Structure 1
Amino acid sequence: MMDADYAPPDDPLDILHEDAELLAVNKPAGLLSVPGKGAHLADCLIARVQAVFPMALLIHRLDRDTSGVMVFAQTKSAQRHLGLQFEKRQTKKTYVARVAGEVADKEGLISLPLVVDWPNRPLQHVDFVTGKEAVTNWRRLRVEDGTTRMRLMPKTGRSHQLRVHMQALGHPILGDPFYSDDAARYPRMMLHAESLRLRHPQGGRGMQFKAKAPF
């Protein structure tokens, strides 16, 4: 991450859902989910959320350059309940991405284990010896001017999973500052968390939160 270049957008908070147990928010691209190291990296989504909802608690994260649906708990018990759903892979997440090149197949599955690339952290890479299981289903939506719009459905939640998996497929996400060569050509990374399905921590009712991709 280029710490010195951190200039998060000042978009107003986009609340998708609010109740006594949880919040769903549409995170803008370019904003950290949680604070980084140093005062210049203090501005982040959870700080902005807590300025309005002081009881909000973190459950999961999105990369700085990824936009889309994030949920926060409003109580400790909701945080535990929702955290377990993520841990046990009981949530269903879908992303939209634009990737380089024209993807030939209509759909597929990528299963490539990932681990942090220590000399180049926070980058991740594929490692069949020490990597942790990482699985992504994908579907081609449409080809656009030599690029492809994809729907990505991760089954695991490894750091940078979708970004590394698309690079491994030979179709890196457009604008990705870490895994693509053409980041400077795009105003942002073309990856958006479009929907998140989970069970409400009080009563277990199924809920789905959606935010349309801004690209």
Structure 2
Amino acid sequence: MKKEKTREFMVEEQGELLGFLLDRLSNRSRNSVKGIMTRGQVSVNGQAVTKHNHPLRPGDRVTIHFGMVSAGKKLNGLQILHEDDDIIVINKEAGLLSIATAKERDLTAYKQLMDHVRSQNARNRIFIVHRLDRDTSGVMMFAKNEKAKRLLQSAWQEAVLERTYIALVAGRVEQTKGTMTSWLKETKTYIMVSSKRPGSGQKAVTHYSVLKSNRAFSLLEVHLETGRKNQIRVHMQDLGHPIVGDKKYGSKKNVIGRLGLHAQVLAFKHPITGKHLRFETTIPDKFLQLFG
């Protein structure tokens, strides 16, 4: 994926970096400009500078790098793939909660990312846009302000251009391509149940194709047409090939020590800039090792 553009300015008068940037980026708030500096997006004569009072002299070249400002930064159980003023995109490991529960409040993706953005500015926040199950790995996005959150949540189906999952399931799936359609609803014991009767829950549509298979397992590429809770997990159970390690939905054994579900691709229209962004992660090695 291409990085967003850079902007370059030549210094004509002596002064300090923050004041220079506030003048050149007059359409942005003071906090936004400070955030750009803190995240290492500003360089002077080719060297990254984060000090607000860094002295500037005539002839200095100031460059602002927009886009993937924290790409590659690793926290506990996640890696930041992209960060800008409005969103953060991460690659979450299996086992890490997206948000807090009654039993776990500290070690979550949400809490760690909140600490991350507040290390740049104490007023910064992040907002939940969608979730991945604790034992599902892969690409996940958070908003960094109310406007981005509102725009994404109010038009999620229109904003998301592609959501691709990789599912490791039990047994050989004979049909190389297929579509699962049913209506899902949640029981009092928090299990999603599937029905073929229209209107008996939320309509859920899942498309799949077989990437690899052997007698014991199949590796599927899965595309969501709708995004219901546990949708892929329930539909794989309906297919007769539950996801490996998914005891809740029919799996009898766990040969990889985790749930066999990975959010591989998330592509969407940026809620503020309108730019199309696409993030793709590699298939977990544990999935591939079962196919030699």
TM range (shorter): 0.7 to 0.9
Report which stretch shifted further, 125-134 or 163-172. Answer: 125-134
Preserved contact between residue 210 and residue 220 of structure 2 (Cα < 8 Å) = yes
Partner of 2:213 in structure 1? 143
The 3-state SS of whatever aligns with 2:110 is: helix
Alignment-derived partner of residue 87 in structure 2 = 22
Match of 1:111 among 181, 185, 190: 181
2:151 aligns to what? 81
TM-score by length of 1: 0.87
Structure 1 residues 72-81 or 41-50, which shifts more?
Answer: 41-50
Structure 2 unaligned blocks of 5 or more: 1-74, 119-124, 288-292
Q: 1:131 Cα deviation (Å)?
A: 1.4
Say which one has the larger Rg.
2
Partner of 2:111: 47
Contact 1:110 1:165 in 2 (8 A): yes
Taking structure 2 as the reference length, the TM-score comes to 0.65
The Cα shift of 1:186 comes to 3.2
> Distance between the aligned counterparts of 1:162 and 1:149, measured in 2?
13
Q: How does 1:111-130 map to 2 (within 5 A)?
A: 111-118=181-188, 121-127=189-195, 128=197, 130=200
Q: Once structures 1 and 2 are overlaid, which stretch shifts more, 138-147 or 153-162?
A: 138-147
Higher RCO (C-alpha 8 Å, min separation 6) = 1
Question: Alpha-carbon deviation of 1:77?
Answer: 0.9
Q: Deviations over 1:141-168 (max 9, x none)?
A: 1114521000010111111000000000
Mapped to 2, the partners of 1:125 and 1:11 lie a distance apart of: 33
Name the % identity: 35
Aligned CA RMSD, in angstroms, stands at 1.8
- Unaligned ranges ≥5, structure 1: 1-9
Confirm or deny: 8 A CA contact 1:36 1:42 kept in the other structure. Answer: no
Partner residue in 1 for 2:136: 66
Residues matched between the structures, number: 203
Q: Return structure 1 stretches of 4+ with deviation > 3 angstroms.
A: 10-13, 87-91, 183-186
